[in-house]
């Protein structure tokens, strides 16, 4: 659910344009294939090694199965307090192209900022917090075999112990348990036993909540359809800057028509 300001919008259009026009130039890491979690972790470490002046890894939580949730913090050092853009991918395990997009996004901005003045300006004034895979347990489970390929949720056991997984996208404390959900643990849209019951949702809530004054834009990447969705996914509630979000989205879409 993006939260965006006018000052960010034009720069973000430039960033999207660069991403859409970019081509791979002999990179060893294949950005046009899906990678298992171990390879993604190794890629994250490689980004830090290749771009130590702008990339660091931050660990900010654990999954139900006690795997560390990490993000890449991308931005040039500054003495002043900086604003930030949040991006998470892979909250739904089976949507493999979402983590692939996050990796491609990171590659493009890192390869562009030294030669593109607009990207350089963004990197000096803002940080990017990019989580390539948020639902790590579910993602790894979806790689297990053909029978698990379409697994969507995390891997925590349900209340009765005979079903598994909560849809993390429906576990946040935002009109929780109202529409577009199920209280049946066997459902793909099971929202959990209570708001923010899942450790993955807790990690995001704490990290973003403790920096809420700095977050200009919150993006969560999916692959269900070619849609740009804005807060709050409820017919009776809209974001206070709804018109701005829609206008920005339409402006971006115009670059691809």
Q: What is the pLDDT of residues 160-171, one digit of tens each?
A: 888 999 999 999
Q: Can you tell me the mean pLDDT for 207-236? A: 87
Q: Which domain holds residue 186?
A: 6-256
**Residues 248, 15: Cα–Cα separation, whole Å:** 13
Establish if 189 belongs to a structural domain.
Answer: yes
CATH of the domain at 205: 3.40.630.10
Mean model confidence pLDDT for the chain: 88
CA 151 to chain centre: 18
* Residue 239 predicted with pLDDT over 50: yes
Q: Can you tell me the mean pLDDT for 1-15? A: 44
Residue-wise pLDDT for 102-122, tens only, equals 999 999 999 998 899 999 899
Q: Can you tell me the mean pLDDT for 71-86? A: 92
Residue predicted with more confidence, 160 or 91: 91
**Cα distances (angstroms) measured from residue 244 to each of 33, 56, 236:** 35, 32, 18
Q: Can you tell me the mean pLDDT for 219-224? A: 90
Establish if 237 belongs to a structural domain.
Answer: yes
* Residue 209 predicted with pLDDT over 50: yes
Say if residues 190 and 182 touch (Cβ distance below 8 Å): yes
**Total domains, the chain:** 1
Residue-wise pLDDT for 172-198, tens only, equals 999 899 999 999 999 999 999 999 999
Establish if 118 belongs to a structural domain.
Answer: yes
Neighbour tally for 59: CB within 10 Å: 10
Establish if 1 belongs to a structural domain.
Answer: no
* Residue 235 predicted with pLDDT over 90: no
**Residues 191, 187: Cα–Cα separation, whole Å:** 9
**Residues 101, 131: Cα–Cα separation, whole Å:** 11
* Residue 66 predicted with pLDDT over 80: yes
Establish if 161 belongs to a structural domain.
Answer: yes
Establish if 149 belongs to a structural domain.
Answer: yes
Residue predicted with more confidence, 80 or 98: 98
Establish if 76 belongs to a structural domain.
Answer: yes
Establish if 194 belongs to a structural domain.
Answer: yes
């Amino acid at each position: 659910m993006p939260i965006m300001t006018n000052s960010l919008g034009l720069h973000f259009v430039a960033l999207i344009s660069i991403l859409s026009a970019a081509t791979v130039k002999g990179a060893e890491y294949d950005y046009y294939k899906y990678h298992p979690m171990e390879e993604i972790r190794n890629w994250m470490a490689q980004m830090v090694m290749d771009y130590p002046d702008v990339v660091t890894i931050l660990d900010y939580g654990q999954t139900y199965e006690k795997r560390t949730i990490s993000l890449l913090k991308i931005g040039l050092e500054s003495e002043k307090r900086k604003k930030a853009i949040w991006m998470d991918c892979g909250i739904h395990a089976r949507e493999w192209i979402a983590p692939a997009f996050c990796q491609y996004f990171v590659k493009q901005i890192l390869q562009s900022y030294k030669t593109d003045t607009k990207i350089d300006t963004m990197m000096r004034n803002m940080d990017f917090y990019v989580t390539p895979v948020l639902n790590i347990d579910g993602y790894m489970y979806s790689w297990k075999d053909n029978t698990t390929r379409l697994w969507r949720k995390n891997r925590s056991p349900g209340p009765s112990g005979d079903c598994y997984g909560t849809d993390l996208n429906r576990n946040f404390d935002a009109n929780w348990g109202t529409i577009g959900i199920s209280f049946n643990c066997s459902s793909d849209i099971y929202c959990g036993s209570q708001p923010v019951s899942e450790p993955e949702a807790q990690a995001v809530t704490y990290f973003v909540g403790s920096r809420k004054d700095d977050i200009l834009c919150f993006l969560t990447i999916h692959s269900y359809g070619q849609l740009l969705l804005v807060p709050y996914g409820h017919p009776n509630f809209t974001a206070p800057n709804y018109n701005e979000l829609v206008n920005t989205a339409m402006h971006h879409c115009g670059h691809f028509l």
